[in-house]
């Protein structure tokens, strides 16, 4: 019965919400500012889709993010609902670092451009590096950069190899790194699946890796440390 509800209600409503929020985001980014739209409109996309899915999100560690500071935020990635959860419930203004192909998505691509998210050509490492350097002016004054450093969704739930871009950017911009763990989103919708089931998603915001460690550790060491922190919460909240 729930799968019938999924196809008759969740999917149509989710697409309608996506189109509506995207259009409002584009309009208010132009009329007011991308920051205003990012703060007051975009999060409703995540909240409304979580609600219509009959799921809920529990947030732990909100005190580990200062809304007035900029960070590099990194998270694991198991499900489409990771993105929905981050948009709706992460207490920070972010610029997503995403593959350039997402710019072609109907409504979503234009909304992401209007908000100033960062598109990266992952097929060319030099172009990707230049995109991150060019985006440095966007990550300031309380705006953080958000990465899924695995680069794609894990089908097994096990963390994949972390790409280096987030950690290089942290060192270049002299910013602390905040690891985030999302648990349970794959129970709502697994990677490469269209089946939706209601579940509780746990969003755990860990203590930041401070700037002095970012400066003193290598990119590889930072990647390993962030991955270990994220994995620790996955083990306790499978």
pLDDT of residue 148: 95
Q: How confident is the model at residue 124 (pLDDT cuts 50, 70, 90)?
A: low
Residue 11 lies in a domain: no
pLDDT of residue 119: 87
Task: Please provide the distance, in angstroms rounded to a whole number, between the alpha carbons at the two ends of the chain.
Answer: 26
Closest listed residue to residue 38, CA positions, set 92, 110, 106, 103: 92
Q: Tell me the average pLDDT across 225-233.
A: 96
Counting every residue, how long is the chain?
A: 238
Residue 236 reports pLDDT greater than 60: no
Residue 160 reports pLDDT greater than 60: yes
The answer to whether 204 touches 233, Cβ cutoff 8 Å, is yes
More confident of the two residues 146 and 132:
146
Q: Tell me the average pLDDT across 11-23.
A: 96
pLDDT of residue 222: 97
Residue 164 lies in a domain: yes
Residue 196 lies in a domain: yes
pLDDT of residue 16: 97
* Chain centre to alpha carbon of residue 44: 15
Number of structural domains (the chain) is 1
Distances (CA, A) of 194 to 48, 57, 109, 154, 161: 19, 20, 21, 15, 25
Q: How confident is the model at residue 233 (pLDDT cuts 50, 70, 90)?
A: very high
Residue 122 reports pLDDT greater than 90: no
Q: Which residues pair with 59 in a beta bridge?
A: 203
For the chain, give the mean pLDDT: 92
Distances (CA, A) of 218 to 132, 195, 198: 18, 41, 41
Residue 102 reports pLDDT greater than 90: no
Q: What is the domain range of residue 65? A: 55-236
Residue 33 lies in a domain: no
Residue 101 reports pLDDT greater than 90: no
pLDDT of residue 133: 73
CATH of the domain at 215: 3.40.1130.10
Residue 157 lies in a domain: yes
């Amino acid at each position: 019965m729930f799968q019938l509800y999924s196809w008759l209600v969740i999917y149509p409503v989710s697409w309608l919400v996506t189109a509506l929020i995207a259009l409002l985001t584009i309009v208010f980014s132009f009329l007011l500012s991308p920051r205003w739209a990012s703060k007051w409109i975009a999060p409703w996309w995540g909240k409304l889709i979580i609600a219509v899915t009959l799921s809920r999100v529990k947030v732990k560690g909100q005190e580990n993010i200062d809304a007035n500071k900029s960070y590099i935020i990194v998270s694991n990635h198991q499900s489409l609902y990771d993105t929905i959860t981050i948009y709706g419930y992460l207490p920070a203004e972010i610029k997503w670092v995403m593959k350039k192909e997402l710019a072609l998505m109907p409504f979503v691509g234009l909304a992401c451009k209007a908000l100033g998210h960062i598109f990266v050509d992952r097929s060319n490492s030099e172009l990707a590096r230049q995109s991150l350097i060019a985006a440095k002016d966007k990550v300031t004054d309380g705006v953080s950069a958000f990465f899924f450093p695995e680069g794609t969704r894990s089908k097994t739930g096990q963390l994949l190899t972390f790409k280096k871009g987030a950690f290089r950017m942290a060192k270049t911009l002299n910013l602390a790194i905040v690891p985030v763990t999302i648990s349970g989103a794959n129970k709502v919708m697994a990677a490469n699946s269209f089946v939706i089931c209601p579940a509780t998603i746990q969003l755990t915001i860990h203590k930041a890796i401070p700037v002095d460690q970012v400066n003193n550790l290598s990119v590889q060491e930072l990647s390993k440390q962030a991955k270990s922190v994220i994995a620790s919460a996955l083990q306790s909240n499978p």
